């Protein structure tokens, strides 16, 4: 049994993925791991023997606290897809040789459904060759689209950001009292969880967004324009939250109707951008109103300055739970969050076979979308509201939030 641990981060960044790294690191140290290594840029970097010894980097409790408040992936990330070992065993032989060199007993990968594919393949291969290395998945994604877990670390902070800036955008958009359609584009390729979070803005002090368009509902451009026209008869300012991934009934993304170039990544995902701009242009051509398209872009996934304390705490917890499980002999599993109750909000962790997570997507239940398909029901709000509760104060140095960074 190897006496060291190694941890990697993979897929898109979040505001709290480093809190999970902190959780893995501290729990492994506490359980007696001699060294805790960090892969640089995930498995892809590890294949090039790029890693660091975290013992040398995270020496003080202040550094751990800064790590929790630092957005994006401290170790760097990758979008690398392991080949199947039946097709290319050499990659596996190389990886396991490197793990042996480093005397690794515990392997952690923090990521989403694509990253869980890596844990799945490594655990399966390891089992086949009789390796005793334990492979554990730690959930992470702003998209909230992982199976078996109540929600994913990263979602709460992104939802808190989206709710907060939506309130600000709505206040800004009403300022002239003139006709204005503001379309805010929010991340979410096939699942509308993030866009749905715009519903959180509504309250005693905010009229809320006027329409929410998620990928779960087929999108009709003409119907959309008609709805905006009707809404604007009531209110001069109309604010709409739209997923980057809204699709027509025929399956094409709305953003594909614009003439932008759309690259494709290693997992075959098209780059989606320009949905809001396309729709704002269509509105401007059809209706007598000014329009504005706002893309929240990477700001929504890296806004650690307004992170949810609930989210950061849970991100840290799932890291620790993964380490506990690995040291207790588990492998090929992912830590999931299990909600115990809403009032008071209570959540614990449990383990699930990574085969039930990898490459699958959890969408917003259709029953949580309002009948007219333009908003969210109270069930969604009851689900999402606890996840954005409480704040983690940034460490402000000289006016700006402090991060941890080593070149």
Using the minimum distance from each CB to its own copies, give the nearer residue, 132 or 168. 168
The three-state (H, E, C) secondary structure of the chain, written as one string: CCCEEEEEECCCCCCCHHHHHHHHHHHHHHCCCCCEEEECCHHHHHHCCCEEEHHHCCCCHHHHHHHHCCCCCCCCCCCCCCCCCCCCHHHHHHHHHHHHHCCEEEEEEEECHHHHHHHHHHHHHHHHHCCCCEEEEEECCCCCCCCCCCCCCCHHHHHHHHHHHHHHHHHHHCCCCCCEEEEEEECCCCCCHHHHHHHHHCECCECCCCEEECCCCCECHHHHHHHHHHHHHHCCEEEEEEECCCEECCCCEHHHHCCCCCCECCCCCECCCCHHHHHHHHHHHHCCCEEEEEECHHHHCCCHHHCEHHHHHHHHHHHHHHHHHHHCCCCCEEEEEEEEEECCEEEEEEEEEHHHCCCCCCCCCHHHECCCCCCECHHHHHHHHHHHCCECCCCEECCEECCCCCC
Closest CA to 216 of 56, 373, 57: 373
The CA distance from 29 to 43, in Å, is 22
CB of 249 to its own copies, least distance (A): 29
Using the minimum distance from each CB to its own copies, give the nearer residue, 31 or 385. 385
Using the minimum distance from each CB to its own copies, give the nearer residue, 70 or 149. 70
CB of 162 to its own copies, least distance (A): 10
Q: Are strands 104-111 and 396-397 parallel, antiparallel or unpaired?
A: unpaired
Using the minimum distance from each CB to its own copies, give the nearer residue, 99 or 294. 294
Which residues would be at the binding site for its own copies (CB under 8 A)?
13, 40-41, 45, 66, 70-73, 76-79, 160, 163-165, 167-169, 171-177, 200-201, 203, 205-207, 261, 263, 284, 290, 292, 294-295, 297-299, 301-306, 308, 385, 388-391, 396-405, 407
Using the minimum distance from each CB to its own copies, give the nearer residue, 27 or 302. 302
Using the minimum distance from each CB to its own copies, give the nearer residue, 77 or 331. 77
Closest CA to 242 of 288, 286, 192: 192
CB of 153 to its own copies, least distance (A): 16
Which candidate in 114, 143, 145, 311 is catalytic?
Answer: 143
Using the minimum distance from each CB to its own copies, give the nearer residue, 201 or 214. 201
Catalytic residue list contains 372: no
Using the minimum distance from each CB to its own copies, give the nearer residue, 44 or 333. 44
Closest CA to 20 of 305, 317, 309: 317
CB of 160 to its own copies, least distance (A): 6
CB of 403 to its own copies, least distance (A): 5
The angle formed by the CA atoms of residues 164, 165 and 171, to the nearest 5 degrees, is: 100
In the block, residue with structure tokens 């990968």:
109
In the block, residue with structure tokens 């109750």:
341
Catalytic residues: 143
């Amino acid at each position: 049994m190897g006496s060291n641990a190694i941890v990697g981060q993979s897929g898109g960044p979040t505001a709290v993925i480093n809190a999970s790294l902190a959780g893995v690191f501290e729990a492994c140290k506490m359980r007696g791991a001699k060294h805790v290594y960090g892969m640089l840029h995930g498995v892809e970097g590890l294949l090039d023997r790029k890693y660091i010894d975290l013992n040398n980097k995270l020496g003080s409790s202040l550094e751990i606290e800064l790590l929790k408040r630092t957005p994006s992936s401290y170790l760097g990330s990758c979008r690398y897809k392991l080949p199947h070992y039946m097709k290319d065993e050499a990659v596996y032989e190389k990886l396991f040789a490197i793990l042996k060199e480093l005397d690794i007993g515990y392997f952690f990968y923090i990521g989403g459904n694509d990253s869980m594919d890596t844990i799945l393949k490594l655990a399966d291969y390891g089992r086949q060759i009789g390796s005793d290395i334990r492979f554990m998945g730690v959930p992470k994604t702003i998209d909230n689209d992982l199976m078996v877990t109540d929600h994913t670390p990263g979602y709460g902070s992104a939802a808190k950001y989206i709710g907060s800036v939506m309130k600000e955008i709505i206040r800004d958009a009403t300022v002239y009292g003139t006709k204005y359609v503001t379309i805010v584009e929010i991340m979410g390729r096939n699942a509308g969880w993030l866009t749905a979070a715009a519903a959180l803005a509504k309250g005693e002090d905010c009229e809320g967004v006027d329409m929410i368009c998620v990928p779960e509902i087929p999108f009709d451009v003409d119907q959309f324009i008609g709805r905006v026209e009707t809404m604007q008869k009531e209110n001069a300012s109309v604010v709409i939250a739209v997923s980057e991934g809204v699709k027509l009934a025929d399956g094409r993304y709305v953003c594909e109707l614009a003439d932008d170039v759309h690259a494709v990544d290693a997992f075959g995902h098209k780059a989606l951008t320009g949905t809001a701009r396309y729709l704002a242009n269509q509105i401007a051509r059809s209706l007598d109103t000014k329009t504005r398209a706002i893309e929240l872009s990477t700001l929504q996934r890296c806004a650690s300055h307004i992170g949810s304390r609930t989210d950061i705490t849970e991100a840290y917890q799932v890291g620790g739970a993964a380490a506990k499980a690995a040291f207790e002999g588990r492998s090929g599993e992912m830590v999931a969050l299990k909600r115990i109750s809403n009032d008071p909000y209570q959540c614990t962790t449990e383990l699930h076979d990574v085969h039930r997570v990898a490459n699958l997507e959890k969408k917003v239940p259709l029953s949580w979308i309002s009948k007219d398909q333009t908003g969210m029901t109270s069930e969604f709000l009851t689900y999402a509201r606890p996840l954005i509760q409480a704040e983690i104060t940034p460490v402000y140095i000289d006016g700006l939030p402090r991060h941890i960074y080593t070149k």
